[in-house]
Amino acid sequence: MSVQFHNQVFRPSISRFAGLLVFGLLYASGIMGQSAHKIDSLLALIKTEKADTSQLRLYSALCDACDVKDNLKYAEPLVKLADSLLSVDNYKSARKSILEQKANAFSCIIEYYQKYEGGGTPKALMYHEKMLLIYKEINDNKGFAKTIYDIGFDYARQGNVMKQLEYYQQNIELLNKMNYKKGMQLLLSQVASIYMDYGDTTQALEKMQMSLSVVNELKDTSLIGNNLINIGILYSRIHDTANALDYFKKAIILFEKKNNEKGVGIAYFYIGQLYFRQKNFAKALEYFQKYLPIVKGHNNYMTSRVLRAICQVYENEANYSEAIRYCNDALNSIKNGDYDIETSRGLSQLGLIYWDQKQYKTAKEYMQQSLSLAIKSGELTSIMLDEKCCAQLDSILGDYKSAYAHYQQYFIYSEKLNKDGIHKALAQENLRNEYEKKKAIEKAEQEKKEVIVKEEKQRQKTITYFSIAGLMLVLLFATFISRAYVQKRKANFLLEDKNKIIEEKNKDITSSITYAKRIQHARLPKRNEIMSALPQSFILFKPKDIVSGDFYFFHTKGNSVLIAAADCTGHGVPGAFMSIIGSEKLSLAVEQSTDTSHILNYLNKELKNSLHQSEDKESTRDGMDIAICSIDMKSHIVRYAGANRPFWLIRKGKSEIEEIKATKKAIGGFTEDDQHFDSHEIELEQGDTFYIFSDGYADTFGGPNQKKLTTKNFKQLLIAIQDKTMPQQEQYLDDHIEKWKAGVEQVDDILVIGVRI
């Protein structure tokens, strides 16, 4: 969940101390040593014990001593032995103890699945349900409540938040009947967290206030203080600063009375965050500095968070030396712990500080480290932001190939987050609709009960009154059911309307992009004109999306034929905009000169002017890679120039590719206005074939291991098809890439041009 409340997590209800007596004996006899030695000793003891409760306790002790990967090895025999003992009359008196051991075994099995198969697996859920039955039988309220909580999270890990909410709400009243208030207030807090995550602030505050009422009955100062802080967090999330501060300060007063320094410190931290969001950096720093000595040395994760918060204050005040010092302290506080995402955020923060100081290489190093940890943790927002930062830094440092790769990943994760946002909005609407339907049903049921009570009273009066009361009951009941039905239909209509709006918008967007495709294709050269000038040629053009960031260009002037393959920044709609601008500027460039070097020089200046590109940090860095060839149709001399895209030549009868490398600069972006692009002159003979292309074909993912095709394999393909005509080559390359993808989504636009003399 995105809203994390303070201190609202159960500790395991079963402390795995079943083997305590055994371990005491081992300590007394001096056997206790290395973990492997403990396990060997316990296994030796098991062989000497009968299959009874003593052996059961030894298996439980083995579960406690072993590594999680071995949990099933000892937990499954424990369950089998427990079931065997429960079926024997002699062990009736020990039934509760045996069931506790069995529940402990289930806990070990779940621990294994959570670590090696993910906590939301159906197996983990199945064993949690079995534990619930055990706790219900032995009247273990704490274990029962904790398992309810865990089952809810099993559903959440499976992405079924609606089921999690439903499960928690069903069991809140049950825990109230069991008089287990602590478990009840925990579930109320989690329900509040779910509602807040889906934007229903009213319900979130209502549930947190109910939780506060429960802990007030318990007179548990720590829980009351925690609930006050959580309500303050909710108010701060909706920017109600006055109420947020009020609840945080109430918590401080309560914790100070009980000398609860940690509780006071947590309240300081959230007050500091509140002032930071208001840009009151002096106040924010004051409260963060108050919290630091309280938490330092006791909680590494929170120490890291408060140190990074102090770093942010200094960074906003441009005090970079202090910012770096505190950020490094934050990283040192968690360096030996398993805090991947927190470490990633600290490294990213350091990278941004060095970036502000124009120390780009150092900034890139920290950003790259941050990205690696973000990918390891799977936190999509952090991955997306780090990919974008790495791309921008690579561009500044002139590593355009790496920048392009990072931009590709940035767009992939950005698209995924946008999709997740749409799903979340729909889930939020479903959540609200389900809640409204439930409230309507509950209201109808409550009113129905009240009518039944009234009917019973009227029954004691005359038959006339009884008849009238019965008629009223029918009318009222019909009204309530009708109201619930109307509300349900209204909620469904609202949802349908919103779904239709989303569907219509998607249709409009798709229709617009499809129309844009017509415009883009209208800008491309006519294939019949190209074939008329170059009869032995092909153009394989496969956009990733409806529109493309790649484009091809053709122009004739006297005896010269110019042909080019261009790859603009991005793909889809952004790439298409760039391709139209690039095509227009290229048309102007070839009117100025037929010299391929001059054409690219002119194209670079014009593209930068068109996009208003400068050294400004906010300036766009979009551009293009291109290979352009001017063919003298009489002499068969080709003049080639390239910006990051090479020229490949296969001589007639040869089985190797002659490669002429491009100038390692892009058109536009960070390239200087006066950048020179080298021109190369190549004499061709009849039967020679040359190729120009974008990087899309070689970068296509697929094959048995879902990896890139690679430039090496692309070269081998071209060499292998030299005995084919040019149309046959196009068909072969098209068929091959489709088989290679085999259902894997195309990641970039594809453009390959082949010409045979």
Between the alpha carbon of residue 253 and those of residues 157, 246, 404, 631, 709, the distances in Å are 37, 11, 55, 85, 65
Cα(172)–Cα(672) distance, integer angstroms:
67
* pLDDT beyond 70 at 468: no
Confidence of residue 414 (pLDDT cuts 50, 70, 90): confident
Q: Higher pLDDT residue, 505 or 347?
A: 347
* CA–centroid distance for 576 within its chain: 28
DSSP result, 258-318 = TT-HHHHHHHHHHHHHHHHHTT-HHHHHHHHHHHHHHHTTT-HHHHHHHHHHHHHHHHHTT
Lowest-pLDDT choice from 195-199, 558-562, 630-634:
195-199
- Give me the residues paired with residue 639 across strands: 630, 681
Between vectors from CA 190 to CA 244 and to CA 123, what angle results, nearest 5°?
A: 155
Lowest-pLDDT choice from 211-220, 464-473, 746-755:
464-473
Give the mean pLDDT of 75-84. Answer: 87
Helix H or strand E segment including 588 = helix 572-592
Q: Taking Cα atoms as reference points, which of 96, 97, 58 lies closest to residue 77?
A: 58
Cα(641)–Cα(433) distance, integer angstroms:
62
* pLDDT beyond 70 at 593: yes
* pLDDT beyond 60 at 17: no
| Domain made up of 1-216: CATH architecture | Alpha Horseshoe (1.25)
Stated pTM of the model: 0.47
pLDDT tens by residue, 644-693: 999 999 999 999 999 999 999 999 888 888 899 999 999 999 999 999 99
For residue 348, which phi and psi values (nearest 5 degrees)? -65, -40
Could you count the other beta carbons within 10 Å of the beta carbon of residue 109? 22
Cα(740)–Cα(751) distance, integer angstroms:
16
Q: DSSP letter for 569, please.
A: S
The predicted structure's pLDDT at residue 467: 55
* pLDDT beyond 60 at 391: yes
Could you count the other beta carbons within 10 Å of the beta carbon of residue 673? 10
pLDDT tens by residue, 274-312: 999 888 999 989 998 998 898 888 888 888 899 999 999
* pLDDT beyond 60 at 208: yes
* pLDDT beyond 90 at 258: no
Confidence of residue 751 (pLDDT cuts 50, 70, 90): very high
The predicted structure's pLDDT at residue 506: 60
Antiparallel, parallel or unpaired: β 550-557 and 658-660? unpaired
Give the mean pLDDT of 719-747. Answer: 92
Q: Which phi-psi region, left, alpha or beta, contains residue 706 (left: φ > 0; alpha: ψ -120 to 50)? A: left
* pLDDT beyond 80 at 151: yes
Cα(112)–Cα(121) distance, integer angstroms:
11
The predicted structure's pLDDT at residue 33: 38
The predicted structure's pLDDT at residue 7: 45
For residue 323, which phi and psi values (nearest 5 degrees)? -60, -45
Confidence of residue 319 (pLDDT cuts 50, 70, 90): very high
* pLDDT beyond 70 at 496: no
pLDDT tens by residue, 508-533: 566 656 655 776 677 789 888 899 89
Cα(469)–Cα(692) distance, integer angstroms:
90
Side-chain half-sphere exposure of 315, counting CA atoms within 13 A: 22
Q: Are 491 and 433 in contact (CB under 8 A)?
A: yes
Mean pLDDT of the chain: 81
* pLDDT beyond 70 at 260: yes
The predicted structure's pLDDT at residue 14: 25
Lowest-pLDDT choice from 112-116, 241-245, 279-283, 380-384:
112-116
Cα(232)–Cα(252) distance, integer angstroms:
12
Cα(471)–Cα(456) distance, integer angstroms:
14
One-letter amino acid for residue 185 of the chain:
Q
Q: Which residues contact 756 (CB under 8 A, 6 or more apart)?
A: 536, 537, 687, 688, 689, 726
Encode 145-172: b = buried (16+ Cβ within 10 Å), e = exposed: bbbbbbbbbbbbbbeebeebbebbbebb
Confidence of residue 29 (pLDDT cuts 50, 70, 90): very low
| Domain made up of 527-577+625-664+676-756: CATH architecture | 4-Layer Sandwich (3.60)
Q: Taking Cα atoms as reference points, which of 639, 618, 617 lies closest to residue 630?
A: 639
* pLDDT beyond 60 at 24: no
pLDDT tens by residue, 159-178: 677 788 877 877 787 788 78
Burial of 298 from C-beta contacts in 10 A (0-12 / 13-18 / 19+): exposed
Q: Are 257 and 265 in contact (CB under 8 A)?
A: no
* pLDDT beyond 70 at 424: no
- Give me the residues paired with residue 540 across strands: 752
Q: Where are the domains of the chain?
A: 1-216, 419-520, 527-577+625-664+676-756
Q: How many Å is the Cα radius of gyration of the chain?
A: 35
The predicted structure's pLDDT at residue 690: 97
Q: Taking Cα atoms as reference points, which of 636, 688, 686, 683 lies closest to residue 657?
A: 688
Could you count the other beta carbons within 10 Å of the beta carbon of residue 476? 15
Q: Taking Cα atoms as reference points, which of 125, 143, 124 lies closest to residue 134?
A: 143
Confidence of residue 708 (pLDDT cuts 50, 70, 90): very high
Helix H or strand E segment including 567 = strand 560-568
The predicted structure's pLDDT at residue 694: 93
* pLDDT beyond 90 at 710: yes
Helix H or strand E segment including 365 = helix 360-377
The predicted structure's pLDDT at residue 334: 86
Q: DSSP letter for 664, please.
A: S
The predicted structure's pLDDT at residue 478: 55
Lowest-pLDDT choice from 47-51, 125-129, 594-598:
47-51
Give the mean pLDDT of 431-436. Answer: 55
* pLDDT beyond 50 at 30: no
Q: Where are the beta strands (DSSP E) in 508-559?
A: 537-542, 550-557
* pLDDT beyond 70 at 106: yes
The predicted structure's pLDDT at residue 489: 64
The predicted structure's pLDDT at residue 552: 95
